[in-house]
Structure 1
Amino acid sequence: MRPYSSAADLSSEAKGELREVVDELARSGASVLFDVLLAGEDERVELFRTYLVMALAQEGLRVRFDAAEMHLPWPMLCLRPEHLSPFRDQTTGAELERDMFPQFRGTGSIRAPMQSGPNPQETEPVRDTMVRKDPALDDLFALFLGHRHQIEHTGDAYPWVQSPPYPQQLPTVSLNHDTAVGKKTRAPEVAAALADGTSCTIRTTYRELVRDLDARDLHEQLMYFWCHGYFEPNGSEPAQLVIRLTDGMLFDGHTVRERRARHRRAGTFNPFVVLNACHAGTAAGDADRAFLGRVLIEHGAQGVLGPQIEMPQVFAAEYALAFIQRYLGGGPTATAGKITHDLAQHFASHYRNPLGFAYALHCGMDTFLQSAKAISPS
């Protein structure tokens, strides 16, 4: 629906209409969290719900949802406005003293200053100096868990316990793309950012991709995919995500397993993967959205970042450009978790766009780019 599908920057759109859209998203996110996941009147459930709300109402936590069978767009789940007022006992309504729970100390304020992401040359967060032109919209954005915390999903796969990869003189990256996708977006700028000061491999066909995956050692620190994604039927099993590069041949988790399984003990493969498969969020029924990411992690990838809903190409390219610039230029303080959190806040505050919450980490929250330049003595 225009303009939401055709523009990344919504700051000039009608404020009332935009508030209605974000309010609807926030209500849905809160309903999933409280009416489904945390529903129940058992005393133990109520106690757990109270403590969890008190924790999530803070800001700046590092949250891991460990659930093998439950892949949800966790950053899009939401608190309710009453959760950000003074802490109250959810049974009696009595206000609780914060000092009763020192582990949850903090402002708890919905109006705490927001941060934008660091620019590529900075390692410290940049405070957002933007004037709050619409406090009501800011208050809605602050309900999203992705706005408040760094978040990752684990449970079905975990990164390998292994020695840190040997830092390269130049970052080793790859662009795996369908050249027909996103010609009118900032995709060319993303490609230029990937190639700037790096050793960049460009692949446009299935054969090129599986040839390199078949090698014992694939020394890539960042693998970026820019292509269409689809959910293919899988017999009696849930439909699974497949992607296509320029040649249109199907690539999925089974392909990764076929090429990497024999190298698991001795080979080298530990990239961070950005799976920016546009429209990959569209699925019916109980489709397995996480299969490709899970198999990549099982075979060595440090983590996978990608959209959890159908993603417009314009915003997908804008997000990728911001992420890649920060990840390649940030060093040890620019972890994938910190960047995704910063960008969620950045797109909400500057672009007034909630789609930054739709990008989620499948493992990899602490991953950052190892480079010889970053660790060499001065």
Structure 2
Amino acid sequence: MTLRSPARDVVVISMWSETGLLPQPRSGVHYARLNISAEEMASLSARLISRWQQFVHYEPESGANGPRAQEPHLRSADLTGRPQSEVLGWVSELAREGAYLLDELLAGDEGELVRFRGHLLSVLEREDLRIRFDSDLDVPWPMLAVGYESLLDGGHLARNPFQLFLGHRHQIESTSGAYADYWWVSDRTRAVGSANLDSDLENVALAADVLKLLEDRLELTTRHFSHELLPDLARPVLDEDLMYFFCHGSYEEHGGRVWHALRLSDELPVDAPLVDGYRKPHTRATARRGTVSLFHPLVVLNTCFAGAPATTGFTGLSATLVRHGALGVLAPQIAVPQVFGAEFALRFLTRYLDEGLTAGLALLETVRWFATTYRNPLALAYGLVCGLDSRVLPSSQEGSTGP
């Protein structure tokens, strides 16, 4: 599905499928003009993300048996110890908010829009599809939901609210205006990767387990400072299959502009223009020669806000990394609790590295695991920019590139 904004206050949506799920129009593509503007869509997306942030920082009222818990959703990844009514009530409300954004995006009575909406919802209400959202506009697709009207029956939950979210139903990737036009599978017996870490987070629960998994599975480079990362980004060849970041992320602000940056163990903000400045000379050179740049990792940015929509005038880190060759970027769209971030990484990377699943399937299974086992929706805050088919094979096979 594509969203394009070719002019101010004009948003055009289109979709097609090669699987026979959609009726085939004469033009081959279903399309319609939306009534919502790009600015309205950005505002609603930001609002939805803020609602998820409220879930993270929720504090229940004091109970009869003692003082209230201090931000219980922030302090533990496993929410099965919390009252079921509390957790499912929150998940139901987040599903309602996700359904509201989707409804607003598709609202309208024009004939072509009504037809388009019917076809799209019939697809999204299925399960286990692979969906690519190629969009000029940043929308938190995994957090959107369908079928909310079927959730309640006489004021009681009639179904599992986790199952309403698009990120629980399907493998999803977005493009954020950038897309890798090749694929890559390593031919080495031991994949190569890096752990890019903030030393302040090394004592977070399970952070050491994640690092051990990477050390066991990869020929690993560990970096703690920007003066270690940036010279490697400046190299013509940075031949890593996986780049993992576990560090702090924040919004920088100056002159009325706001953008995202991450920090390792030092204070230098690593943002999209900085990465672009170091990689661009090599990316341009390989483009002139007609070759594939040897920068092809799946990048896991386990960093607050790293996948959130970029502020107008600034390109996000995810899109920048993909433009320079990364097969995909997995990152959260909110400030994820550190303890959850480490647990998420362990679950996802085990599926990706040890089981050899594609990034799209590894993410979907991780989302469903947290929903079923820990009753925690926060895995839905992680989104893939490209990389749906990225994988590291469990055993050596011949590497290859292709269109």
Residues 223/137 of structure 1: CA separation in 2 closer, same or farther (3 Å cut) = farther
Q: How does 1:282-301 map to 2 (within 5 A)?
A: 286=311, 291-301=316-326
Aligned 8 A contact 2:304 2:334 in 1: no
Distance 1:72 1:290, change over 3 A: farther
C-alpha distance 300-281 of structure 1, shift in aligned 2 (>3 A): closer
Task: Tell me, yes or no, if structure 1 residue 253 matches structure 2 residue 272.
Answer: yes
Spell out, residue by residue over 1:267-295, the C-alpha distance to the aligned partner (whole angstroms, 9 max, x if none): 41111100011355789x94679611111
> How far did residue 323 of structure 1 move?
1.0
Q: Post-superposition shift, 1:136?
A: 3.8
Cross-structure match for 1:131? none
Where in structure 2 are the equivalents of 1:176-215 lying within 5 Å?
176-181=196-201, 183-215=203-235
Residues 300 and 280 of structure 1: CA distance in aligned 2, closer, same or farther (over 3 Å)? closer
Structure 1, gaps ≥5 residues long: 86-134
Residue 150 (1) aligns with residue 171 (2): yes
CA distance in 1 between partners of 2:101 and 2:326 (Å): 30
Partner of 1:336: 359
Whole-Å separation in 1 of the counterparts to 2:366 and 2:394: 23
Matching of residue 26 in structure 1 with residue 95 in structure 2? yes
Do 2:96 and 2:148's aligned partners in 1 also have CA atoms closer than 8 Å? no
RCO comparison, higher one (Cα < 8 Å, 6+): 1
C-alpha contact (below 8 Å) 1:190/1:317 kept by paired residues: yes
Aligned to 2:379: 356
Q: Secondary structure at the match of 1:51?
A: helix
DSSP-derived class of the 1:357 partner = helix
Aligned equivalent of 1:16: 85
* Equivalent of 2:180 in 137, 159, 164: 159
Contact 1:60 1:148 in 2 (8 A): yes
1:1-378 matches, within 5 Å, as 1=57, 2-34=71-103, 36-68=104-136, 70-82=137-149, 136=157, 139-161=160-182, 164=184, 166-181=186-201, 183-233=203-253, 235=255, 238-264=257-283, 265-266=285-286, 267-278=293-304, 280=306, 286=311, 291-331=316-356, 334-370=357-393, 373-374=396-397
How many Å apart are 1:19 and its aligned residue?
1.7
- Which deviations, in whole Å up to 9, do the C-alpha atoms of 1:29-52 show, x marking residues without a partner? 001110x21111212211111111
Secondary structure at 1:324 match in 2: helix
Aligned to 1:111: none
Q: Which letter does structure 1 place at the counterpart of 2:391?
A: F
Letter in 2 for 1:63: I
Take 2:83 and 2:182, find their aligned partners in 1: how far apart are those partners? Answer: 49
Kept in 2, the 8 Å contact 1:281–1:311? The answer is: no
Q: 1:228 touches 1:280 (CA, 8 Å); kept in 2?
A: no
1:233 Cα deviation from its structure 2 partner: 2.4
Structure 2 residue identity aligned to 1:8:
A
Identity of aligned residues (%): 40
Contact 1:29/1:76 (<8 A) preserved: yes
Q: Deviation at 1:81?
A: 3.3
1:155–1:278 distance in 2 versus 1, CA, 3 Å: closer
Deviates more, 1:274-283 or 1:36-45: 274-283
Q: TM-score, normalised by structure 1?
A: 0.79
Superimposed CA distance per residue, residues 83-136 of structure 1 (whole angstroms, 9 cap, x where no aligned partner)? 699xxxxxxxxxxxxxxxxxxxxxxxxxxxxxxxxxxxxxxxxxxxxxxxxx94
Name the CA distance, whole Å, in 2 between partners of 1:60 and 1:166: 27
Distance between the aligned counterparts of 2:337 and 2:313, measured in 1? 21
Q: Which amino acid aligns with 2:334?
A: I
How many aligned positions are there? 320
Supply the distance in 1 between the matched residues of 2:308 and 2:299 (Cα, whole angstroms): 20
Offset of residue 254 of structure 1: 1.2
Name the SS for the 2:187 alignment partner. Answer: coil
Distance 1:319 1:340 in 2: 10
Distance 1:356 1:256, change over 3 A: same
* Paired residues of 2:330 and 2:382 also in contact (CA < 8 A): yes
Question: Which stretches in structure 2 are left out of the alignment for 5+ residues?
Answer: 1-56, 58-70, 287-292
Q: How far apart are the structure 1 equivalents of 2:84 and 2:158?
A: 8
Aligned partners of 1:166 and 1:188: how far apart in 2? 26
Given that residues 281 and 310 in structure 1 are in contact (C-alpha distance below 8 angstroms), is that contact kept between their aligned partners in structure 2? Answer: no
How far residue 353 of structure 1 moved from its aligned partner, in angstroms, is 0.5
Partner of 1:92: none
Root-mean-square deviation over aligned CA pairs: 2.4
